[in-house]
Amino acid sequence: MWNKTDLESIRKRIAQLEPDMIEMQRRLVALPAISPVSGGEGEKVRAEYLAGLLQSWGLEVTEYRAPDQRAPCGYRPSLTARLKGRTTHPTLWLMTHLDIVPPGPIELWQSDPYQARVENGRVYGRGTEDNQQEMAASCYAVRALLDLGLTPGTDVVLMLVADEENGSDYGVGWLLENHDLCRPLDLVVVPDAGNEAGTLLEVAEKSIAWVKFTTIGRQAHASTPHHGNNAHRAGARLLVQLDRRLHERYNAEDRLFSPPVSTLEPTKKEANVPNVNTIPAEDVFYFDCRMLPQYELTGLLEDMKGIAQGLAQESGVEVKVEPVQMAQAAPPTSPEAPVVMRLADAVREVYGGEPFTRGIGGGTVAAFFRRRGIPAVVWGRNDGQAHRPNEYSVIANMVGNAVVYAHLMG
């Protein structure tokens, strides 16, 4: 742990480094790193710039290349940059992602998304908040320690990864699968989400199940329904039965999550017949379910099939139940895990406010660590600008978050 004097000099040094952080943002904005699946060339140019910079600071930089023939260079680079601490165990990992999403319709932007614009305490440009704000903040937290000649309590590794925006198969997923990097007792912080006050520490996520239901009956004229079998009516009945019975069965509550229950929502409905006077032979609808991690998705799917089977017998239709996406949640990070407690302390110290832990309904890259038994926490103080047109980073957040990261390194 840093003492009061150390903390004061860290805070001061980071404030002095603000122009350098803005300069890093400027450079990164001008070096877009877009996945080949989104029409880009990957992260090569950006990784080269960062590797050069971090090496010039004296950090031990390693580049990892995930083979990807869709990228012109044939690989997707990820970097680690290590600052030696007084001990190696546990190592503190700060993971940010190199890639950005495309800017979307250009007419929605007030200025060039690939040219940083600094205005009213903000830096505008694609990627400035997601995830460059935290990349600059974590890099300059390390830089401040180097400038002050302070040795962190434990090894600190900046992990700059590819492919976060498209599933991480060429980023952290590949990295953890192919290289022995993190250990279960390490501290992993993924600064890639959060809230405006910086008080939200994300430690858990729900499982996701998207399921397609198709009912197949027999087509007929609407005036002679006895010649057909109405797939739409059967589908409607099935939907109501699923809604009632699944909610009865999957009714557990967990206060860690908001909302604290599993959500099971009928969402998409495909068009059936184009005219009013035909009885449809086929009807299709979908459920989007976000389940508390205690439930196994295989069991949920079995229950859905059971309900569908009952309906099929009752209505004389055929029913198909097909998973569209099934992602079982990783085990949650304990709200009492050391990385969570230390981050909460740092946030309290730097920003005031009372941090709270929460589970969310969607997946995050922290799951790659959690599945390996490595507690990971997702955090950030930000304005929720990810993927928006006219994306910006609040400079005060970038600077403040750097102080939080430096705090953690003590």
Q: Which is nearer to Zn ion, 10 or 47 (CB)?
A: 47
107 φ/ψ angles, rounded to the nearest 5 degrees: -70, -15
Q: Is 133 in the site for Zn ion (CB under 5 A)?
A: no
Q: Is 385 in the site for Zn ion (CB under 5 A)?
A: no
Q: Residue 34 corresponds to which tokens in the numbers above?
A: 């877009």
Q: Which is nearer to Zn ion, 128 or 131 (CB)?
A: 131
Question: What is the pattern of x (binds Zn ion, CB under 5 A) and - over residues 322-341?
Answer: --------------------
Q: Which is nearer to Zn ion, 315 or 385 (CB)?
A: 385
Is residue 22 within 8 A of residue 395, CB to CB? The reply is: yes
Q: Is 401 in the site for Zn ion (CB under 5 A)?
A: no
Q: Is 283 in the site for Zn ion (CB under 5 A)?
A: no
The SS3 call for residue 175 is helix
Q: Residue 144 corresponds to which tokens in the numbers above?
A: 């401040």
Residue 135: CB minimum distance to Zn ion, A: 10
| Burial environment of residue 71 by CB neighbours within 10 A (0 to 12, 13 to 18, 19 or more) | buried
**Stretch touching Zn ion by CB under 5 A, among 55-63, 124-132, 238-246, 319-327:** 124-132
CA dihedral 174, 383, 189, 159 (to 10 degrees): 50
- In the structure, how many helices (H) and strands (E) does the chain have? 10, 17
Compute how many residues bind Zn ion; rule: CB under 5 A: 3
CB-closest chain residue to Zn ion: 130
Residue 365: CB minimum distance to Zn ion, A: 8
Residue 58, sorted as left (phi over 0), alpha (psi -120 to 50) or beta, turns out to be left
Per CB under 5 A, which of residues 229..258 are in contact with Zn ion? none
Q: Which is nearer to Zn ion, 104 or 323 (CB)?
A: 104
Out of 78, 131, 214, 401, point to the residue binding Zn ion (CB under 5 A).
131
Q: Which of 2, 1, 57 is nearest to 24 (CA)?
A: 57
**Stretch touching Zn ion by CB under 5 A, among 107-115, 129-137, 230-238, 373-381:** 129-137
| Burial environment of residue 48 by CB neighbours within 10 A (0 to 12, 13 to 18, 19 or more) | middle
Per CB under 5 A, which of residues 188..227 are in contact with Zn ion? 192
Q: Which is nearer to Zn ion, 98 or 399 (CB)?
A: 98
Q: Is 163 in the site for Zn ion (CB under 5 A)?
A: no
**Upstream peptide bond of 293 is cis (omega within 30 degrees of 0):** no
Q: Is 96 in the site for Zn ion (CB under 5 A)?
A: no
85 φ/ψ angles, rounded to the nearest 5 degrees: -110, -170
Match 């970038």 to its residue by tokens: 398
Q: Which of 281, 280, 287 is nearest to 305 (CA)?
A: 287
Match 């925006």 to its residue by tokens: 165
**Stretch touching Zn ion by CB under 5 A, among 127-135, 209-217, 263-271, 302-310:** 127-135
Out of 99, 129, 130, 155, point to the residue binding Zn ion (CB under 5 A).
130
The DSSP 8-state label assigned to residue 106 in this structure reads G
Q: Is 43 in the site for Zn ion (CB under 5 A)?
A: no
**Stretch touching Zn ion by CB under 5 A, among 104-112, 130-138, 237-245, 307-315:** 130-138
Residues near Zn ion (CB under 5 A): 130-131, 192
